[in-house]
């Protein structure tokens, strides 16, 4: 995928995701490529791909700083997954895309609306529970 500089894999509560930063909001993953990457026998293997996109470039109305662009393992556009949201926020934190110390929260835009996530003792807690 043109413009992709790094792809990492993250795990959370039994789910695994491929993650990448899309700082310009211009990546448009080809469904066939995403499905090939997520294939557990012939690819990297994952439940989906999560792209960290600045919400200002995502074209959606939100007060969030980041948009979680979720693509399902078959390459289709995905609805947000709670476990994916936790992995996504851990990715933002560990890559330095978001400065999140323990006790801090971040508002993340998703296709199903905004979700608030708190960082607690090095882990994350979704605000939708």
Q: How much is the mean pLDDT over the chain?
A: 90
Report whether 91 contacts 10 (CB < 8 A): yes
In a domain, 2, yes or no: no
CATH number at residue 63: 3.10.310.10
In a domain, 1, yes or no: no
In a domain, 19, yes or no: yes
| Domain assignment of residue 44, given as a range | 8-126
Task: Summarize pLDDT for 80-92 with one digit per residue, the tens.
Answer: 888 899 999 999 9
Residues 35/4/91/125 CA torsion (nearest 10 deg): -50
- Separation between Cα atoms, residue 30 and residue 58, nearest integer Å: 17
In a domain, 21, yes or no: yes
Supply the pTM of this predicted model: 0.91
In a domain, 98, yes or no: yes
What is the number of domains present in the chain?
A: 1
- What is the chain's pLDDT, residue by residue, as a tens digit (129 residues)? 666 768 999 998 889 999 999 999 999 999 999 999 999 999 999 999 999 999 999 888 999 999 999 999 999 998 888 889 999 999 999 999 998 888 889 999 999 999 999 888 767 766 654
Report whether 53 contacts 25 (CB < 8 A): yes
């Amino acid at each position: 995928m043109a413009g992709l500089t790094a792809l990492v894999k993250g795990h959370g509560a039994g789910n695994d995701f491929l993650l990448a930063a899309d700082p310009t909001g211009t990546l448009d993953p080809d469904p066939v490529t995403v499905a090939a990457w997520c294939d557990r026998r012939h690819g990297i293997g994952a439940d989906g791909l999560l792209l960290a996109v600045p919400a200002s470039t995502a074209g959606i109305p939100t007060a969030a700083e980041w948009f979680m662009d979720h693509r399902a393992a078959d390459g289709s556009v995905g609805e947000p997954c709670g476990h994916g949201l936790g992995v996504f926020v851990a990715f933002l934190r560990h890559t330095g895309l978001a400065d999140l110390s323990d006790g801090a929260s971040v508002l993340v835009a998703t296709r199903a609306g905004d979700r608030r996530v708190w960082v607690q003792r090095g882990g994350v807690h979704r605000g939708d529970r």
